Amino acid sequence: MKRNRFGFFGAAAGGAIFDIVRREGPISRAQLGRTTALSKSTISLHVDRLLKVGVIKEEARQTDSGPGRRSLLRFATDRGIVVGIELGVTSIDVAVCDLEASVLASYSETLDIAQGPVPVLTRAYEIIEQLLTDVGHDPDADRPMPTLAGIGIGLPGPVNRTLGCVVSPPIMPGWDRYPVRDEVATHFDVPCFVDNDVNVMALGEARAGSARDSESSLFVKIGTGIGAGLVIDGELYRGFKGSAGDIGHIGIDGERTLCSCGNRGCLEVVAGGAGIARRGRELADSGASPMLAEAAARLADESPPREISAVEVGLAASQGDTAALELVIESGRHVGSVLAKLVNFFNPQMVILGGGTVNIGDAFVAAIREMVIRRSTQLATVDLVIRRSAFGEQSGMVGAALMVVDEVFSTRAVTAMVREFDG
Ligand SMILES: [Zn+2]
C-alpha cells in the first residue's frame, strides 16, 4: 500500500509505522523511509520505540544480491496468541493462532446453535480452555505465557458491533441481543470481538489469504445461504448499520420460490446449498435424474435417514448425470449474474469464493466465472482475479483470529502503547 503523504506525528507516527511493518513486513528501515518519506533519524527513533514496546522484531537476513546481511523489521507475531471461533448453524470451529493467524491448535464439532447462547457458549468455553492448555497457556501463572490477546467470534446472523450481539437473527432462536461479546470477555478477562461470519472470512482473506495483496476485494460465501464481505482500501466495509454485503436476498428474474425472508426468488433460496439440495430432491422425485433418484433411495435407508444435499447433486453432476449437471450450471450462473452486477458497481480487484457449496464441483465455479466475465464491463474484468478461498474450511476461525489482531494491534491501539511507554 502506498502512502505518499505520511500525516502522522509523535506517538501516532509510531502506530502508523507499526501498521506498515505489520502489513508489508519483513521490511528494512530504508524501505520504511521510502514509504513514509520520513528521515533516517526519525524512522530510527520510532522503530527503536516499537522494538522496546515489543510489537515489532528485528531479524538479520541474507541479502539477495551479493554478500552481507541486512536487518529487517517484522511484526512480533509470537508476542501473544488469539482465539478465533466460527459458530455455524450446526457446528463450532475453534482455533488458537499466533498473531499472523498460523493455527497452533484447533478443534471442530457439530453443535446446534438453536440450543441457545448459554449451552453453546458453555461448550465453547470448554473447548477454548482445552486448546489453550494444549498450546501451553496457563491462566493461573503469575505472568501467563503465551499471552492471550483476545477472542474473536464469527456469528451466522446480523451482528450489531456496537452492542456486541446478534440482532433479530432468522436462524438463531434465543440469541437476539444476547450479549455474546461481553459474556465471553468477562469469562476470560480478555477483549472479545464479534462480527458476522462472512465479514470475518472476508477480513481473513484480505489480511493473510487470497486477497493479501489486493486493495479491494469481494468475498462471497456460498454455503447453505449466500452472503458477501467487501474490503475497500484494505479495510472491511460494513455499511451504515453493518449489513453491507447481504446479497442473499437479491431477486433473480423469473424465479418465484418463496424465501424465508418472505420474498420470492431470492438468490440464496434458488442457488445456495439448501436451494440446490431442494431442487436436487425434485429431480430425484420426478425421475429426471436417475443418479439422484438412486442416491435418494440409498440415503433414506441410512440410519438415521438422510436427504439429498448439494454434495450429492455435485457428485451426480461430476459423474455425468445430465439433469444434475444442468442444475449445478444453472445455479452457478444465477450466482454469477448477481456477482456481475456487483463487479460492475464496485470494480474490485479480486473476487474470492468460499463456503462449502463452492466445493460441489468445478462446473459450479466455472459457471459463476463465465457469467461474471460475460455480464460485467470489459474494464471491470480485464484484470479481475476470481479465485477460491485460501483457507477453505478454516477461513471462519482464521478470519475471527485476524479480527482480534486487527483490533488489539490497530494503529490507534499501538499509538496508545507507545504513548504509555513514553509516559
Ligand atoms: Zn429472501
pLDDT tens-digit readout, 45-68: 999 999 999 999 999 876 666 555
The hierarchical CATH code for the domain 10-76 is 1.10.10.10
Spacing, Cα 248 to ligand 1 middle (Å): 7
pLDDT at 265 over 80: yes
Spacing, Cα 53 to ligand 1 middle (Å): 50
Cis geometry, peptide bond prior to residue 170 (ω within 30 degrees of 0):
no
Spacing, Cα 17 to ligand 1 middle (Å): 44
pLDDT given at position 66: 58
pLDDT given at position 3: 44
pLDDT at 366 over 80: yes
Q: State the Cα–Cα distance between residues 332 and 251, nearest whole angstrom.
A: 15
The percent of residues above 70 in pLDDT, for the chain, comes to 97
Topology (CATH) of 81-205+396-408: Nucleotidyltransferase; domain 5 (3.30.420)
Least confident of 5-9, 173-177, 381-385: 5-9
Query: Can you name the residues that pair with 105 across neighbouring β-strands?
Result: 96
Contact at 8 Å (CB) between 166 and 157? yes
Cis geometry, peptide bond prior to residue 146 (ω within 30 degrees of 0):
yes
pLDDT tens-digit readout, 388-415: 998 888 999 999 999 999 999 999 999 9
pLDDT at 293 over 90: yes
Spacing, Cα 135 to ligand 1 middle (Å): 43
Spacing, Cα 144 to ligand 1 middle (Å): 47
pLDDT given at position 171: 79
Spacing, Cα 37 to ligand 1 middle (Å): 50
Q: Which of 226, 266, 224 is nearest to 249 (CA)?
A: 266
Q: State the Cα–Cα distance between residues 256 and 266, nearest whole angstrom.
A: 8
Least confident of 136-150, 183-197, 218-232: 136-150
- Are 10-76 and 81-205+396-408 equal in CATH topology? no
Spacing, Cα 9 to ligand 1 middle (Å): 49
Spacing, Cα 247 to ligand 1 middle (Å): 9
When pLDDT is cut at 50, 70 and 90, the band that residue 86 belongs to is: very high
CA distances 55 to 48, 147, 176, 177, 196, Å, are 11, 13, 37, 35, 28
When pLDDT is cut at 50, 70 and 90, the band that residue 69 belongs to is: low
**Span 358-368, average pLDDT:** 95
pLDDT given at position 1: 41
210-389 is a CATH 3.40.50.300 domain: no
Spacing, Cα 335 to ligand 1 middle (Å): 14
Spacing, Cα 257 to ligand 1 middle (Å): 9
Ramachandran quadrant class, 321 (left: phi over 0; alpha: psi -120 to 50; beta: rest):
beta
3-state secondary structure of 325: helix
pLDDT at 192 over 50: yes
**Span 242-271, average pLDDT:** 92
Give all strands (DSSP E) within 252-296, no chain letters. Answer: none
Strand 385-388 with 350-354, pairing: parallel
pTM of the predicted protein model? 0.88
Spacing, Cα 172 to ligand 1 middle (Å): 17
3-state secondary structure of 69: strand
pLDDT given at position 242: 85
Q: State the Cα–Cα distance between residues 406 and 13, nearest whole angstrom.
A: 18
Spacing, Cα 220 to ligand 1 middle (Å): 17
pLDDT given at position 68: 59
One-letter amino acid identity for 244? A
Spacing, Cα 244 to ligand 1 middle (Å): 15
**With b meaning 16 or more CB within 10 Å and e meaning fewer, what string describes 236-255?**
bebeeebebbbbbbbebeeb
Mean pLDDT, the chain, whole residue set: 92
pLDDT given at position 2: 41
Spacing, Cα 260 to ligand 1 middle (Å): 6
| Sequence-separated (6 or more) residues with CB below 8 Å from residue 237 | 230, 231, 244, 245
Spacing, Cα 371 to ligand 1 middle (Å): 22
Spacing, Cα 295 to ligand 1 middle (Å): 29
pLDDT at 145 over 90: no
Spacing, Cα 179 to ligand 1 middle (Å): 27
Spacing, Cα 250 to ligand 1 middle (Å): 7
pLDDT at 90 over 60: yes
Q: Which residue has the higher pLDDT, 314 or 78?
A: 314
Q: Which of 54, 115, 65 is nearest to 87 (CA)?
A: 115
pLDDT given at position 191: 97
Spacing, Cα 90 to ligand 1 middle (Å): 21
CA distances 185 to 149, 154, 190, 193, 201, Å, are 11, 15, 5, 9, 21
Q: Which residue has the higher pLDDT, 386 or 171?
A: 386
Spacing, Cα 276 to ligand 1 middle (Å): 15
pLDDT at 27 over 90: yes
pLDDT given at position 243: 86
What's the distance, CA 332 to chain centroid? 21
Spacing, Cα 279 to ligand 1 middle (Å): 17
Spacing, Cα 241 to ligand 1 middle (Å): 19
Spacing, Cα 262 to ligand 1 middle (Å): 6
pLDDT given at position 4: 43
Spacing, Cα 227 to ligand 1 middle (Å): 12
- Reported as type and span, the H/E element at residue 87 is strand 81-87
Contact at 8 Å (CB) between 151 and 180? no
pLDDT given at position 78: 87
pLDDT given at position 67: 59
**In this structure, how many other beta carbons lie within 10 angstroms of the beta carbon of residue 348?**
24
Domain locations along the chain: 10-76, 81-205+396-408, 210-389
pLDDT given at position 224: 87
Spacing, Cα 253 to ligand 1 middle (Å): 13
